[in-house]
Structure 1
Amino acid sequence: MNVREKLFFMALAVIILAYSAHELVIHLRPKPPSPQEIGLEWLRQEYKIPDEAYGKIARLHQDYFLRCDEMCATMKRAHRPLIQRSRNPTSREQKSAALSREKAVCENCLDNMVQHLRTVAALMPPAEGERFLADILPEVINPPELQKLRSQVTPLQ
């Protein structure tokens, strides 16, 4: 083997070793917490939730986020016809009907969220559950998106 071949194989070995070390570090390092995990930990600390209740709340949140993803997809599907119709002129009644459907989907999502928050609050110590609802519900009860839809929907005659 000549010097060039030796240098080539040494460089190749260094590259393979560096890549392997990189992959090993990536797979062995601790995974950063998800936004949901960060939120749950904040909830636990802020509202002094006991371990047993925290476990139940964590499971409820996991189930809720799956439903939430489904509701978001439904809202996107409900909104898509409005985007397409804005490019193509349609009658006022069609636009109003589409807005009404989107508003209904949004209100359903909001109802599910409020019910979830009330269920979570019921699992907390009573005083903390009341404080939780007082802190959270005003922020979610009347979202700007729903206000906008309510103002755009005109009753059909």
Structure 2
Amino acid sequence: MKIREKLFFMALAVILLAYTAHEVVIHLRPVPPSPRQIGLEWLRAEYDIPQEAYEKIAALHQDYFVRCDEMCATMERAHRPLIQRSRTPQSKETPSAALKREKAVCENCLENMVQHLKNVAALMPSVQGERFLKDILPEVINPPELQKLRSQVTPLQ
């Protein structure tokens, strides 16, 4: 075998070894926690939730996030004049009606979120549940997006 062939096979062996090592490391490393898992762990630590209640809250969160994903898809499909141009320029819907529809979708999402938070608080020890609602509800009740919609939609007379 000539020196070029030996160098070629050595280079090929090094490349294959590096690729194999890369794949082994990728498959054996721990999977980082998702933002939802991080949030649940924070909730457990911050509010000192007992294991039994934590498991119920985790199950409740799982169900809620399925509904949440559905609501997000509904919001994405909605005509959202404040965020994106209409996909159908010949739409017969007036801007005011589109804003009202978008406001209704956002308010429905908000109502579902508030109810979910109240359900979570009900599973916590009462003092911790009250503190949780006191800490969290002000952050979610008046999101800037909904405040903007409320200021642009005039009430019906």
Report if aligned partners of 1:96, 1:156 keep a CA contact under 8 Å in 2: no
Residue 13 and residue 100 in structure 1: after superposition, are their counterparts in 2 closer, same or farther (change >3 A)? same
> Identity of paired residues, percent?
79
Gaps of 5+ in 2: none
Residue 89 and residue 151 in structure 1: after superposition, are their counterparts in 2 closer, same or farther (change >3 A)? farther
Per the alignment, in what secondary structure is the counterpart of residue 4 of structure 1? helix
The match for 2:39 is 39
Is residue 107 of structure 1 aligned with residue 118 of structure 2?
no
Report if aligned partners of 1:53, 1:124 keep a CA contact under 8 Å in 2: yes
The match for 2:30 is 30
The match for 1:6 is 6
Q: Which 4+ runs in 1 deviate beyond 3 A?
A: 79-83, 87-91
Gaps of 5+ in 1: none
CA distance in 2, matches of 1:153, 1:126: 38
Residue 89 and residue 149 in structure 1: after superposition, are their counterparts in 2 closer, same or farther (change >3 A)? farther
CA distance in 1, matches of 2:15, 2:112: 53
CA RMSD after TM alignment: 2.3
Q: Which amino acid aligns with 2:97?
A: A
Q: Which amino acid aligns with 1:113?
A: M
CA distance in 2, matches of 1:70, 1:16: 44
CA distance in 1, matches of 2:85, 2:3: 66
Report if aligned partners of 1:103, 1:149 keep a CA contact under 8 Å in 2: yes
Aligned residue pair count = 156
